[in-house]
Amino acid sequence: MAFIDPYGRTIDYVRLSLTDRCNLRCFYCLPKGTRGFAPSDTRLTFDEIERVIRAFAVLGVHRVRLTGGEPLVRKGVAQLVARLHQIPGVDDMSMSTNALLLEPHAEALFAAGVGRLNVSLDSINVERFARITNGGNLDHVLKGLFRARQEGFDPIKINMLVMKGINDDEVVPMARFCIENGFTLRYIETMPMGAGGMDAVSRYLPLDVVEEALKAEFNLIDDISSGGGPARYKRIAGSETKIGFITPLSRHFCASCNRVRLGADGTLHLCLGNSHSVGLREPLRQGIDDEELVALIRKAIALKPWQHNFNQPKTGVNRSMAATGG
């Protein structure tokens, strides 16, 4: 069954936030001192999550990404993956993680059905990584990455938020790191989201600047083989390494949006950069049946806006990426 929004876009992808909590405190996302995390009884249980994903699968969704917050701080993630992986129709399970806890989880996650990984990594300099993340241990991240590669996750994509004066001098070193280690690399523009993101907007760097810096070092070839997501890809000549540019601000890709986000509290967010949403937790807890749940989600999709609101002056989204399942 095709699941199509009012603008004719097919929605086949759900990003599922397992928690709004995180074991890092990146200054642009959940800065130190962040309060207001959702109480744990407002978090959807695994049973509730499974019901919602089954309903999405009935509607034609076949890709599910576990994210957060940090998905690996939620207990029992691999068991949840195994449950979601056997839902008829779900054929692609992936995860976005900061990889701090990846080393001990990699084997179980892969066995349970996560095939692809995105790892957020803004610096490969030990001190700087610790500064950006407020105490994160780069060594644990690297061990997690290498363990995941050994396990067989493919592809492993590094997501690097590029910020002026913070890590823009690491654009080329990060590319070399990915060439050497067989990772795909995606550069991302800073979005005005949540308290930390609003501050970080002064660090915004359009990615055409990054592309120019890369061209001075590498021969970049257009790569049309990689699709299905927001990145525009190039390949570095002489290597298999793909380099993606995710440009929500300088060149947005809303026309090809194929996704919705389920917050850890059961809020269905129809757009990352807008507040259109529908709460699924209360209906679930009040005994909605499976058919009604499918109907509710189908109705919700009618609210999906055409595009994000990030470029409107003084707007932005007063919700952190972590609460949204970014």
Binding site for ligand SAM (CB under 6 A): 22, 28-29, 67-68, 70, 96-98, 120, 159, 161, 188, 190-191, 193, 197, 200, 321-322, 326
Q: Distance (Å, rounded) from C-alpha 288 to C-alpha 125?
A: 50
**Shortest Cβ distance from residue 28 to ligand SAM (Å)?**
5
**Residue 19 C-beta: closest distance to ligand SAM, Å:** 9
Q: How far is the CB of 318 from ligand SAM (least distance, A)?
A: 12
Minimum distance from residue 10 beta carbon to ligand SAM (Å): 24
**Based on the number of CB atoms within 10 Å of its own CB, is 133 exposed (0-12), middle (13-18) or buried (19 or more)?**
buried
Q: How far is the CB of 157 from ligand SAM (least distance, A)?
A: 10
Identify which of residues 51 and 65 has a Cβ nearer to ligand SAM in the complex. Answer: 65
C-beta closer to ligand SAM: residue 51 or 242: 242
Structure tokens at 63: 């890709």
Q: Closer CB to ligand SAM, residue 51 or residue 277?
A: 277
Residue nearest to ligand SAM as judged by C-beta position: 197
- In the bound state with ligand SAM, the residue whose beta carbon lies nearer, of 113 and 316, is 316
Tell me the C-alpha distance between 212 and 245, whole Å: 12
Which residues are CB-contacts of 190 (< 8 A; sequence separation ≥ 6)? 28, 161, 162, 163, 197, 200, 201, 203, 204, 205, 249
Name which of 241, 245, 165 is nearest 206 in CA terms. 245
To the nearest 5 percent, what fractions of the chain are helix, strand and coil? 35, 20, 45
49: helix, strand or coil: helix
- Of 72 and 236, which CB lies nearer to ligand SAM in the complex structure? 72
